[in-house]
Structure 1
Amino acid sequence: MHARAVAASTTALLGTAALLLPLSPARATDTGAPPVVIAHRGASAYAPENTLAAVDRAAALGIDWVENDVQRTKDGELVVLHDDSLQRTTDVEEVFPGRAPWKVKDFTAAEIARLDAGSWFDPAYTGTRVPTLEQFVDRVEQNRQKLLLEIKNPQLYPGIEQETLKLLGNEGWLDRRHLEGRLVVQSFSADSVRTVHALKPAVKTGFLGTPPVADLPAYAAFTDQINPSHGSLSAGYVTAVHALDGAHGKPLEVLTWTVNDAAAARRVAGFGVDGIITNTPDVVRDAVGG
């Protein structure tokens, strides 16, 4: 996730939000528990981001929740990658030198599967591949972890919400066990979050950004979380979010990102956030007592 200003749509919203399932993680302010720790793009301080290696590293650290980013290839495959270009985190310039600017949407899944997505991070990870979403959720399931899935750049991929939900359903991630506490779908796009809620009201959703307090009731009609950058956060804002019930009739939650040091983790925990998204999940967990 980029710490940038996000223009959120506040157009006509769904009138009635279906309310089927309890929410998870439970609010720290209600339970007295520390914030839930979520490994950002996997344990991305220690392994290449958004790869199976990063998922496994989070599992080895004892971290239950992992976050990822989903985009779509030229031939319609969902892959796990943060940037809309392959340039930063793969060797695409070497493998396909004549195809700048190397956008994900301009490459087939087979072409992306040829790329090295690990050596940029550390030579020890040479040969690591960009995972498909199917491979990613299968690994999260294998590790008995939980998934905070971000639909990235939905404006580039019309229909990606429905395709993502279809894949999650095919992989068994839309059953009661997963919906009750193992899956959240989020986006910087309010329209995308609204679409997910309309297509599958049972799915817990999150909006990435810091909407004005006056606009929060509109967001509460279709989302369960407001997930701001930690630099935009205050105790008063967290309290204002918690004062409203979200789409599933439970108080809105706050997950904040991207917090990578102990002091910042303790600061936002003091605000009463429900979760902290971090590249260094062990550092944050130790800081907040998780």
Structure 2
Amino acid sequence: MWNKTLAGTLAVVAAGVLFVTLQPASATATGSGHDDRGPIVIGHRGASAIRPEHTLLSYEAAAALGADYIEPDLVSTKDHVLVARHENEIGGTTDVQNHPEFAGRRATKTIDGVAVTGWFTEDFTLDELRTLRAKERIPDLRPDNTAFDGLAPIPTFDEVIELAQRLGVGVYPETKHPTYFDSIGLSLEEPLLAALARHGWGGARSPVFIQSFETGNLKALRSATRLPLIQLINGTGAPYDLVAAGDPRTYTDLVTPEGLREIAKYADGVGVATTRIVPAGPDGKLLEPTTLIRDAHRRGLKVHTWTIRPENSQLPVDYRLGDPASPAYAGATGDVMGWLVRLFDLKVDGVFSDDPGIARATRDRVFST
């Protein structure tokens, strides 16, 4: 019965009319990660399964569907204002290509060692970015979201915090490409802490986690704030600050018992790709879980995992549903609840979900008994 109720709620949301059917859970969630109802639910880029990512529309939907935290990825404008975008390149997430006055801003830059061509937030003032509108980043996978294209501006971090406080949820900001932004004189960490302080969220019990795929900025933040810090761990590769410094360590090195012991000196948890918890074999099917959660918990670290997405193409093979030969198979909803239950059984402390409504409903069912 609970599945039918949730499906009805999501149908209403998809139609563009959002009713609050679940109360945000952050009343008992704090930056310490404590929630007496089970693992925290983080709205990944908001509720990006049903709204264009990193918009106030998406964050509001996430809160209404029961997320404990909303996740803004932060980049800087030319005039050093933090805004929410998954990347500083905005050609795929805004209508900038429809603005001939900005045609000359198109450029190729090297970001974390990779050449990227497009339009970049650091080449626009906030006022200029305000003339743009957000759009769905992956329209082929999420065509319903395109109905909201052109409706939402790019939000500032201050606006995200204000929305979160009004709706009773926490924030889980990520600093994007901190080494790169440092190199162009637009450091992310100072304005991030200043924004949180302006809104009274500077203490260890504030409903805030700060996350980064790099290590150096988290170590620097440790001496500047009591807010909980999360070291992000990708499924492959290495933190770019280590690469830039010639340090040979990779993310795999960081999740060894020794690596986790080092992380525990400056961070309060790790945010890991699900493949670090349950890897997949050559056929795409899941193998036995690793010891990462146990090893991290032994060192006092929380384990949050990303990203739980509802579409078949974004789920492990074991949790996909329907006929693989069907043209709609990739975008069809798989057994995302079953995947969540598996992760909850493994004792993760939090999940990043594109559909926080499903994550919240699953969490509440699993931990209500």
Which band: TM-score by shorter chain?
A: 0.7 to 0.9
> Which residue identity does 1:220 align to in structure 2?
A
- Specify the alignment match of 2:32 in structure 1: 24
**SS of aligned partner of 2:303:** strand
- Specify the alignment match of 1:247 in structure 2: none
**1:236 matches 2:302:** no
Cα offset for 1:155? 1.3
Please show how residues 260-275 of structure 1 align to structure 2 within 5 Å: 260=309, 261-275=336-350
Provide the rounded CA distance (Å) in 2 between the counterparts of 1:104 and 1:140.
23
Structure 2 residue runs without a partner (length 5+): 1-29, 107-117, 138-144, 234-250, 278-288, 310-335
Provide the rounded CA distance (Å) in 1 between the counterparts of 2:85 and 2:169.
19
Which of 211, 215, 229 in structure 2 is aligned with 1:186?
211
- Specify the alignment match of 2:313 in structure 1: none
- Do 1:183 and 1:203's aligned partners in 2 also have CA atoms closer than 8 Å? yes
Please show how residues 241-256 of structure 1 align to structure 2 within 5 Å: 241-244=296-299, 251-256=300-305
**1:160 matches 2:215:** no
Tell me: CA distance 1:237–1:191, structure 2 relative to 1, closer, same or farther (3 Å): same
- Do 2:65 and 2:360's aligned partners in 1 also have CA atoms closer than 8 Å? no
> Which residue identity does 1:236 align to in structure 2?
T
- Specify the alignment match of 1:248 in structure 2: none
- Do 2:178 and 2:217's aligned partners in 1 also have CA atoms closer than 8 Å? yes
Cα offset for 1:203? 1.0
Provide the aligned length of Structure 1 versus Structure 2.
255
> Which residue identity does 1:258 align to in structure 2?
T
Please show how residues 25-64 of structure 1 align to structure 2 within 5 Å: 25-26=33-34, 33-64=37-68
- Do 1:235 and 1:272's aligned partners in 2 also have CA atoms closer than 8 Å? no
Which of 159, 162, 168 in structure 2 is aligned with 1:138?
162
Provide the rounded CA distance (Å) in 2 between the counterparts of 1:125 and 1:84.
19
- % identical equivalent positions: 28
Q: Which has the larger radius of gyration?
A: 2
Which of 120, 134, 143 in structure 2 is aligned with 1:117?
134
- Specify the alignment match of 2:152 in structure 1: 128
Provide the rounded CA distance (Å) in 1 between the counterparts of 2:119 and 2:31.
39
Provide the rounded CA distance (Å) in 1 between the counterparts of 2:177 and 2:206.
25
- Do 1:185 and 1:205's aligned partners in 2 also have CA atoms closer than 8 Å? yes
Cα offset for 1:126? 2.4
1:54-101 alpha-carbon deviations (Å, 9 max, x no partner)? 111012212221111011011111111111201111011111223212
TM-score (norm 1): 0.83
**SS of aligned partner of 2:308:** coil
Cα offset for 1:52? 0.7
- Specify the alignment match of 2:200 in structure 1: 172
> Which residue identity does 1:38 align to in structure 2?
I
1:256-290 alpha-carbon deviations (Å, 9 max, x no partner)? 00012222212211211000001011112223336
Cα offset for 1:160? 1.4
**1:86 matches 2:141:** no
Which of 222, 230, 255 in structure 2 is aligned with 1:212?
255
Deviating above 4 A after TM superposition, structure 1's stretches of 4 or more consecutive aligned residues are: none
1:96-129 alpha-carbon deviations (Å, 9 max, x no partner)? 2232120111111111111011466423342310
**SS of aligned partner of 1:199:** coil
- Do 1:235 and 1:271's aligned partners in 2 also have CA atoms closer than 8 Å? no
Provide the rounded CA distance (Å) in 1 between the counterparts of 2:136 and 2:296.
41
Provide the rounded CA distance (Å) in 2 between the counterparts of 1:173 and 1:235.
35
Structure 1 residue runs without a partner (length 5+): 1-21, 245-250
- Do 1:147 and 1:182's aligned partners in 2 also have CA atoms closer than 8 Å? yes
TM-score (norm 2): 0.66
Cα offset for 1:23? 5.5
- Do 1:43 and 1:281's aligned partners in 2 also have CA atoms closer than 8 Å? yes
Cα offset for 1:167? 1.6
> Which residue identity does 2:134 align to in structure 1?
A
